[in-house]
């Protein structure tokens, strides 16, 4: 066999250089001739093939040889995709396909595996446990290891939060496991990354990294990754989640910067999801109207009010105007409410078009009204739990709705509904609310049958949910140019991780913590339960805290709204916060003063001239949120353009020297003096005579 391998290798070297060379770009070199137990290697890091249980037997997806499959594909985001295939040494009826996506700007490799078979095979769960290793590699020469988790739900901010945890050698010695999804390792001079694209809240792991005393690390399935008895045959293949790896020079912090650039530019095919538009959403005013003015949530959701709001939003510089809940007749059908919008949003869309603004709409993707067509025609797509379909519930003052199963034929029906609506009313931004990770164990959907246990079906639903969501978002984006899907993760129990970021973005914070989170006794029947609901600076402390994501994942992917309310003292704090990447505004637009609107217009106008520089910049943060000073530098290392914002809650003079060289042109708030040092950095002195924020734009006058 060994001789045959060498022979085949030589044969392909002559016939098809791709086989011999694997994949070679300016950034990476992927090779296949890497010895026993190795499927492929990237420079010095070797990856073992996936291993799984087939018909009760442990199978390694080691291949006898690999051939290129088709020609390289140039993807829309500028990356290139390569496919290879080869038969398994242990079972020639099974074929492994490897898909690599590489780019010329970063050394991050995105890859996944597919198994096909020309004879029926079944994936098995020996002893009822998942038996699936996605990859195995060694961290032997990299003493510093960190887990980067993205889905810790912090009660202090009522938000998902990034957390980095050092993994000391004791966790290798004692065979510890970590959920990730990112594992970073280094020795100070070079660094290495492993990541997988899935999503769930810590500590509810579906995949995890399993450590060994010899410093091997395996990425293994924990639950729900496949079903007991899942078939691989002519009509069914098994496909892994997407995984990522990168080997770089430099520290783990430099690795984070490289990975951040990959997420911004090369992870998703739909690059519109990464554009730092300024978003407005009607929800906050709907909530204020309910709790301050004693009106129904949907009272303000009508053409007259929306046209007035669009005028103000345009004057402020907002790009995307999002109608939150209430624009529709009923869930499921997703047709425009003719009572609220007599011409079906036509006038609204015309006004938005005349201002060059985009239309966004709210959706409850897993809800469909009792009388909706999808429920009448496909009642079998409703979610069920232990054989019972839950009673329908009212959705935001509209018709009672059932919960629908996204891991069923409903997913494509929902995608088609969004595409139809995009064609009819011109919506390109889709806010998806209230999608819980768990909720269906029905045996007639696509997540297990009668021969699987209810627990298995529930786990399979939860595992596949985010993949189906991505499928819907990708289908919509393919049909609707510029479409963006935003997944609301403002509550616990959502599928937060890397998977959805390959198709869309997150809506991170609603209002942050509730009174209950802070143990403040209130009568929930009479009071809004939102604690950080009032104008001023306090809400911005909550909303800025999860900006720590920006080190690894661009903050542009975590939409969060800030208030537009007067006085300008707080408007400056809001603008200074939102331009750091969360990019959202909501509140009572019709009650902002003219000078307040003019302030937003001038500040956002300057922002838009450097927003791409800000978006590509690594964050440089000094100080603690809500302490004085709290400084955020977002200056592009390549252009010197971008912004520095300084917050202070105490009066006084604060000084800062930028880490990066800055472009000579700049604009700064009142009370700020700027000079340049010999190295081209900016020396900043900011004088605060009251709490607030100072904004500095570089590259703009
Ligand atoms: Zn289901």
User: Could you read off the pLDDT of 233-274 as tens digits, one per residue?
Assistant: 999 999 999 999 999 999 999 999 999 999 999 999 999 999
Per-residue pLDDT of 673-682, as tens digits, reads 999 999 999 9
How sure is the predictor about 526, in pLDDT bands with cuts at 50, 70 and 90? Answer: confident
Instruction: Encode burial over 90-107: b for 16+ CB neighbours within 10 A, e otherwise.
Output: ebeebbbbbbbbbbeebb
Cα of 412 to ligand 1 centre, how many Å? Answer: 14
Q: What is the dihedral of CA 410, 416, 420, 426, to 10 degrees?
A: 100
Q: How confident is the model at residue 524, as a pLDDT? A: 76
Query: Could you tell me the two tokens for 202?
Result: 């810590």
Cα of 502 to ligand 1 centre, how many Å? Answer: 23
Q: How confident is the model at residue 21, as a pLDDT? A: 64
How sure is the predictor about 523, in pLDDT bands with cuts at 50, 70 and 90? Answer: confident
Cα of 34 to ligand 1 centre, how many Å? Answer: 43
Inform me whether the pLDDT recorded for 529 exceeds 90.
no
Query: Could you tell me the two tokens for 552?
Result: 């690894």
Q: How confident is the model at residue 5, as a pLDDT? A: 37
Cα of 326 to ligand 1 centre, how many Å? Answer: 27
Are the CB atoms for 260 and 148 separated by under 8 Å?
Answer: no
Per-residue pLDDT of 344-381, as tens digits, reads 999 999 999 999 999 999 999 999 999 999 999 999 99
Cα of 269 to ligand 1 centre, how many Å? Answer: 28
Inform me whether the pLDDT recorded for 6 exceeds 50.
no
Mind giving me the DSSP string for 87-134?
Answer: EBSS-TTEEEEEEEEE-SS---EEEEEEEEESS-EEE--GGGS--EEE
Cα of 461 to ligand 1 centre, how many Å? Answer: 6
Cα of 445 to ligand 1 centre, how many Å? Answer: 5
Cα of 466 to ligand 1 centre, how many Å? Answer: 13
Cα of 415 to ligand 1 centre, how many Å? Answer: 17
Identify the DSSP state of 619. Answer: P
Per-residue pLDDT of 143-167, as tens digits, reads 999 999 999 999 999 999 999 999 9
For ion ligand 1, residues whose CB falls within 5 Å = 405, 440, 442, 445
Query: Could you tell me the two tokens for 248?
Result: 């770089």
Inform me whether the pLDDT recorded for 4 exceeds 50.
no
Q: How confident is the model at residue 13, as a pLDDT? A: 36
Q: How confident is the model at residue 2, as a pLDDT? A: 36
Cα of 324 to ligand 1 centre, how many Å? Answer: 27
Closest CA to 351 of 295, 379, 313: 313
Cα of 49 to ligand 1 centre, how many Å? Answer: 32
Cα of 332 to ligand 1 centre, how many Å? Answer: 16
Cα of 441 to ligand 1 centre, how many Å? Answer: 6
Q: How confident is the model at residue 26, as a pLDDT? A: 92
Cα of 360 to ligand 1 centre, how many Å? Answer: 28
Cα of 499 to ligand 1 centre, how many Å? Answer: 20
Cα of 442 to ligand 1 centre, how many Å? Answer: 5
Cα of 117 to ligand 1 centre, how many Å? Answer: 27
Inform me whether the pLDDT recorded for 8 exceeds 80.
no
Per-residue pLDDT of 72-125, as tens digits, reads 999 999 999 999 999 999 999 999 999 999 999 999 999 999 999 999 999 999
Cα of 440 to ligand 1 centre, how many Å? Answer: 5
79: left (phi over 0), alpha (psi -120 to 50) or beta: beta
Cα of 395 to ligand 1 centre, how many Å? Answer: 20
Report residue 671: phi and psi, to 5°.
Answer: 85, 10
Inform me whether the pLDDT recorded for 65 exceeds 50.
yes
Inform me whether the pLDDT recorded for 527 exceeds 80.
no
Lowest mean pLDDT among 14-23, 209-218, 635-644: 14-23
Cα of 467 to ligand 1 centre, how many Å? Answer: 14
Cα of 257 to ligand 1 centre, how many Å? Answer: 39
Cα of 497 to ligand 1 centre, how many Å? Answer: 22
Cα of 366 to ligand 1 centre, how many Å? Answer: 11
Mind giving me the DSSP string for 430-487?
Answer: EEE----S-----TTSSS--TTS-HHHHHHHHHHHHHHHHHHHHHHHHHHSTT-EEEE
As a whole-number percent, the residues of the chain with pLDDT over 70 amount to: 97
Inform me whether the pLDDT recorded for 399 exceeds 70.
yes
Per-residue pLDDT of 263-300, as tens digits, reads 999 999 999 999 999 999 999 999 999 988 999 999 99
**Mean pLDDT in residue range 635-642:** 97
Q: What is the mean pLDDT of the chain?
A: 95
């Amino acid at each position: 066999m060994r001789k045959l391998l060498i022979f085949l290798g030589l044969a392909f070297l002559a016939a098809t250089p791709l086989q011999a060379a694997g994949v070679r770009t300016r950034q990476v070199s992927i090779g296949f001739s890497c010895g026993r137990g190795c499927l492929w290697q990237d420079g010095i890091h070797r990856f073992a093939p996936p291993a799984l249980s087939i018909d009760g037997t442990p199978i390694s997806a080691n291949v006898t040889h690999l051939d290129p499959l088709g020609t390289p594909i140039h993807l829309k985001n500028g990356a290139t995709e390569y496919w290879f295939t080869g038969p398994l040494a242990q079972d020639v009826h099974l074929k492994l396909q490897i898909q690599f996506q590489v780019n010329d700007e970063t050394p991050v490799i995105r890859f996944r595996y597919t198994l096909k078979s020309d004879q029926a095979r079944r994936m098995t769960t020996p002893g009822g446990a998942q038996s699936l290793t996605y990859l195995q590699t060694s961290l032997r020469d990299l003493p510093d290891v960190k887990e980067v988790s993205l889905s810790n739900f912090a009660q202090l901010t009522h938000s998902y939060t990034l957390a980095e945890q050092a993994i000391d050698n004791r966790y290798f010695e004692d065979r510890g496991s970590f959920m990730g999804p990112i594992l970073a390792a280094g020795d100070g001079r070079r660094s290495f990354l492993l990541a997988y694209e899935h999503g769930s809240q810590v500590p509810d792991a579906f995949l995890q990294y399993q450590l060994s005393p010899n410093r091997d690390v395996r990425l293994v399935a924990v639950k729900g990754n496949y079903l007991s008895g899942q078939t691989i045959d002519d009509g069914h293949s098994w496909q892994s989640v997407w995984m990522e790896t990168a080997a770089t020079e430099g520290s783990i912090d430099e690795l984070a910067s490289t990975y951040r650039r990959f997420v911004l530019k090369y992870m998703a095919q739909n690059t519109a999801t990464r554009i730092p538009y300024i978003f407005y959403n009607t929800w906050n005013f709907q909530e204020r109207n309910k709790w301050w003015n004693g009106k129904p949530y949907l009272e303000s959701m009508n053409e007259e009010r929306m046209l007035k709001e669009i005028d103000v939003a345009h004057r402020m510089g907002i790009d995307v105007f999002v109608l939150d809940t209430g624009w529709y007749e009923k869930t499921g059908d997703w047709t425009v409410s003719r009572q609220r919008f007599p011409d079906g949003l036509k006038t609204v869309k015309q006004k938005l078009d005349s201002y060059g603004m985009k239309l966004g709409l709210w959706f409850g993707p897993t809800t469909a009204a009792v009388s909706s067509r999808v429920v009448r025609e496909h009642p079998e797509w409703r979610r069920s739990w232990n054989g019972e379909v839950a009673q329908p519930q009212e959705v935001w003052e509209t018709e009672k709705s059932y919960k629908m199963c996204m891991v069923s034929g409903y997913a494509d029906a929902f995608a088609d509904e969004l595409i139809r609506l995009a064609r009819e009313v011109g919506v390109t931004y889709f806010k998806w609310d209230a999608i819980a990770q768990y909720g269906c164990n029905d045996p007639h959907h696509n997540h297990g049958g009668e021969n699987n246990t209810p627990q298995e079906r529930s786990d399979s639903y939860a595992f596949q949910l985010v993949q189906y969501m991505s499928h819907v978002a990708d289908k919509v984006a393919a049909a609707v140019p510029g479409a963006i899907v935003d997944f609301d993760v403002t509550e616990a129990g959502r599928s937060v991780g890397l998977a959805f970021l390959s198709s869309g973005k997150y809506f991170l914070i609603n209002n942050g913590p509730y009174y209950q989170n802070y143990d403040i006794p209130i009568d929930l029947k009479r009071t809004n339960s939102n604690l950080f609901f009032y104008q001023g600076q306090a809400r911005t402390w909550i909303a800025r805290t999860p900006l720590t994501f920006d080190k690894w994942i661009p903050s542009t992917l975590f939409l969060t709204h800030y208030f537009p309310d007067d006085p300008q003292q707080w408007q400056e704090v809001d603008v200074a916060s939102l331009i750091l990447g969360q990019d959202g505004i909501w509140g009572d637009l019709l009650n902002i003063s003219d000078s307040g609107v003019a302030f937003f217009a001038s500040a956002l106008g300057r922002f838009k001239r450097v927003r791409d520089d800000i978006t590509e910049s690594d964050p440089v943060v000094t100080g603690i949120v809500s302490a004085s000073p709290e400084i955020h530098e977002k200056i592009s290392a390549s252009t010197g353009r971008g912004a520095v914002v300084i917050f202070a809650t105490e009066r006084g003079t604060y000084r800062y020297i930028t880490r990066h060289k800055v472009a000579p042109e700049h604009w700064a708030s009142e009370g700020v003096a700027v000079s340049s040092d010999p190295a081209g950095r900016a020396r900043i002195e900011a004088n605060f005579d009251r709490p607030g924020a100072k904004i500095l734009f570089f590259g703009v006058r």
